[in-house]
């Protein structure tokens, strides 16, 4: 262990303590599964840039490229990432050293381990964000689909779990679609900021190595607003953005899960989960537990904690590496978990049965037409609103004290008499249809809103496909370039061995 590690610095008389290996290095080394691919691309871009600049002579360069291409062709799990070596970067260096000896050292010319790590992380983060984008778009799509199928599913929308106002279940469902769709924008903003990476930045303040930095970034498919090497190296806001956007998406899924837990209870009985999302009990033979919903809610708690830890972690002084040791992994796992929670909730939503008959039967329970009725008293009898509201409230109170949960025909007659308005009992459908304006629960309006939203999501999905394709192409091109270059050593001048 120590011998290999010592090889790096030769400044130390002993290698790392086993406890340090079992904690810090193990944590960092485990991140190879996220960083392997990006480290490979970063290394290729680095070597090609040094070679273009005439700094790295052949055959050292071409041999190193050959080894890099070989590693790039393999998955992280096929390779010996070993905590005893340090982090993923160190392990790679050992792998390369085994293949090309001291030529591997060129990878550190003009570049710190942490620069390579940043590039790899942001490449991985971009991939993860695009996957999250796709998952969220899928959730939005599921909510739109089920909303459109429930445009005329009358129900009493709730506040504080109390019946509030007659509406449609389609209107209810679409509200989650809109909230989730806004996360697409957030994901894109975070994705864009992930383009901000240090390039041959030396320790932090730059280097004399004369590489073509714009070309370097193009090779990686990265780039963003110009900044300084210190900012690109040490700023933490990009990390926070990723954590925050993961929390945003999970919270939306969790809120729907929380609602559905209630709606799936026996007394409500509005939602029945698919068997594939339920769980039996080994003890209670009759149980059919909505397990998937607690998975979503609990996972969101975990995510919320992770993001809290992230904020605590980055709130240290600048240029401290604990921002990164843990957060490469923590952040990417958080995005992955947020995606899983969103996908699971989308699947539950797609497969659930809604008991729309039961919803409709109870749509007027709890006097949910009261506000509409007060409005009718105003418009038809010229009462002022306070008086109208009080009349209806008194009527509802009296009915409730009688033990009724709805207004009766007699209540309507009394109200008509008291107000002078021409009133007849309302049904859920006509109440909802009477509210014809942008954004309301009226089926036409929900339909229009859903259509608009679907077009928006298609639009954003096009962006995602394009971004993903560009990233994939850049990566392929880079590996191909490395492969070609490794096979064609050049005669280097300027720098002579």
Determine which residue in the list 259, 426, 460, 483 makes contact with a copy of itself, applying CB under 8 A: 259
Position 423 contacts a copy of itself (CB under 8 A): no
- Which residue do the tokens 């409730």 mark? 400
User: Closest distance between a copy of itself and the C-beta of residue 480, in Å?
Assistant: 26
User: Closest distance between a copy of itself and the C-beta of residue 288, in Å?
Assistant: 6
Q: 10 Å Cβ neighbour count for 433?
A: 15
Nearby residues of 48 by Cβ (< 8 Å), 6 or more positions away: 65, 219, 478, 481, 482, 485
Instruction: Count CA atoms within 13 Å of residue 136 on its CB side.
Output: 34
Determine which residue in the list 73, 74, 98, 452 makes contact with a copy of itself, applying CB under 8 A: 452
Nearest to residue 247, comparing CAs of 351, 337, 117, 131?
337
Q: Which of residues 24-83 bind a copy of itself (CB under 8 A)?
A: 24, 27, 55, 57, 60
Give CA 460 to chain center in angstroms. Answer: 15
User: Closest distance between a copy of itself and the C-beta of residue 476, in Å?
Assistant: 27
Report the distance separating Cα 61 and Cα 209, nearest Å. Answer: 16
Determine which residue in the list 237, 353, 361, 465 makes contact with a copy of itself, applying CB under 8 A: 237
Residue positions counted in the chain: 497
Q: Which of residues 386-405 bind a copy of itself (CB under 8 A)?
A: 386-387, 389-390, 392-394, 396-397, 400, 405
Closer by beta carbon to a copy of itself, 55 or else 475:
55
x/- track of binding to a copy of itself for residues 264-303 (CB under 8 A): xxxxxx----xxxxxxxxxxxxxxxxxxxxxx-xxxxxxx
Closer by beta carbon to a copy of itself, 13 or else 77:
13
Determine which residue in the list 151, 232, 246, 423 makes contact with a copy of itself, applying CB under 8 A: 232
Give Dmax over CA atoms of the chain in angstroms: 105
Report the distance separating Cα 283 and Cα 394, nearest Å. Answer: 49
Report the distance separating Cα 80 and Cα 29, nearest Å. Answer: 10
User: Closest distance between a copy of itself and the C-beta of residue 121, in Å?
Assistant: 15
Q: Which of residues 167-196 bind a copy of itself (CB under 8 A)?
A: 167-168, 171-172, 174-176, 178-179, 182-183, 185, 189, 193
Closer by beta carbon to a copy of itself, 79 or else 399:
399
Task: Sort residue 163 into left (φ over 0), alpha (ψ -120 to 50) or beta.
Answer: beta
User: Closest distance between a copy of itself and the C-beta of residue 162, in Å?
Assistant: 6
Nearest to residue 134, comparing CAs of 430, 465, 359?
465
Q: Which of residues 93-132 bind a copy of itself (CB under 8 A)?
A: 93, 102-113
Kindly indicate which of the ranges 124-132, 157-165, 410-418, 466-474 contains the residues binding a copy of itself, using the contact rule CB under 8 A: 157-165
Closer by beta carbon to a copy of itself, 171 or else 475:
171
Position 8 contacts a copy of itself (CB under 8 A): yes
Position 145 contacts a copy of itself (CB under 8 A): no
User: Closest distance between a copy of itself and the C-beta of residue 129, in Å?
Assistant: 16
Closer by beta carbon to a copy of itself, 70 or else 179:
179
Closer by beta carbon to a copy of itself, 72 or else 421:
421
Closer by beta carbon to a copy of itself, 399 or else 479:
399
x/- track of binding to a copy of itself for residues 344-383 (CB under 8 A): x--x---x----------x--xxxx-xxx-xxx-xx-xxx
User: Closest distance between a copy of itself and the C-beta of residue 473, in Å?
Assistant: 25
**What does each C-alpha distance from 195 to 115, 118, 198, 209 come to in angstroms?**
13, 10, 10, 22
Report the distance separating Cα 289 and Cα 279, nearest Å. Answer: 5
Closer by beta carbon to a copy of itself, 95 or else 441:
441
């Amino acid at each position: 262990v120590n011998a290999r590690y010592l090889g790096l610095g030769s400044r130390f008389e002993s290698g790392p303590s086993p406890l340090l290996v079992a904690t810090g290095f193990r944590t960092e080394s485990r991140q190879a599964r996220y960083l392997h691919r990006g480290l490979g691309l970063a290394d290729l871009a680095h070597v090609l840039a040094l070679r273009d600049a005439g700094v790295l002579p052949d055959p050292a360069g071409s041999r190193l490229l050959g080894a890099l291409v070989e590693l790039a062709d393999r998955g992280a799990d096929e390779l010996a990432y070993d905590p005893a070596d340090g982090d993923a970067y160190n392990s790679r260096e050992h792998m390369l050293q085994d293949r090309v000896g001291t030529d591997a050292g060129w990878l550190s010319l003009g570049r710190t381990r942490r620069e390579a790590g940043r590039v790899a992380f942001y490449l991985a983060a971009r991939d993860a964000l695009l996957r999250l984008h796709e998952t969220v778009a899928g959730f939005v799509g599921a909510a739109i689909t089920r909303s459109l199928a429930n445009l005329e599913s009358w129900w009493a929308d709730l506040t504080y779990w109390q019946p509030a106002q007659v509406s449609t279940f389609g209107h209810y469902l679409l509200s989650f679609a809109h909230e989730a769709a806004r996360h697409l924008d957030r994901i894109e903003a975070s994705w864009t900021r992930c383009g901000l990476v240090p390039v041959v930045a030396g320790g932090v303040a730059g280097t004399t190595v004369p590489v073509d930095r714009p070309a370097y970034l193009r090779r990686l498919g990265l780039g963003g607003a110009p900044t300084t090497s210190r900012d690109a190296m040490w700023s933490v806001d990009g990390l926070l953005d990723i954590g925050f956007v993961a929390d945003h998406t999970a919270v939306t899924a969790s809120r729907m899960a929380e609602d559905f837990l209630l709606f799936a209870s026996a007394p409500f009985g509005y939602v029945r989960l698919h068997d594939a999302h339920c769980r039996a009990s080994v003890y209670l033979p009759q149980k059919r537990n909505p397990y998937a919903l607690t998975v979503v809610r609990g996972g969101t708690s975990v995510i919320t904690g992770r993001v809290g830890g992230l904020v605590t972690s980055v709130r240290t002084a600048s240029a401290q590496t604990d921002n990164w040791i843990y957060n490469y992994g923590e952040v990417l796992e958080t995005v992955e978990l947020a995606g899983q929670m969103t996908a699971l909730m989308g699947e539950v939503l797609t497969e659930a049965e809604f008991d729309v008959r039961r919803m409709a039967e109870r749509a007027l329970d709890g006097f949910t037409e009261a506000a509409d009725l007060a409005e009718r008293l105003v418009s038809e009898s010229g009462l002022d609103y306070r008086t109208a509201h009080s009349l209806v409230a008194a009527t509802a109170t009296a009915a409730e004290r009688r033990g009724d949960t709805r207004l009766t025909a007699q209540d309507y007659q009394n109200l008509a008499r008291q107000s002078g308005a021409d009133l007849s009992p309302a049904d859920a459908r006509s109440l909802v249809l009477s509210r014809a304006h942008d954004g309301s629960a009226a089926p036409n309006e929900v339909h229009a809103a859903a259509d608009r939203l679907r077009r928006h999501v298609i639009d954003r999905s096009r962006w995602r496909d394009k971004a993903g394709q560009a990233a994939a192409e850049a990566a392929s091109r880079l590996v191909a370039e490395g492969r070609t270059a490794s096979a064609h050593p050049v005669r280097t001048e300027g720098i002579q061995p």
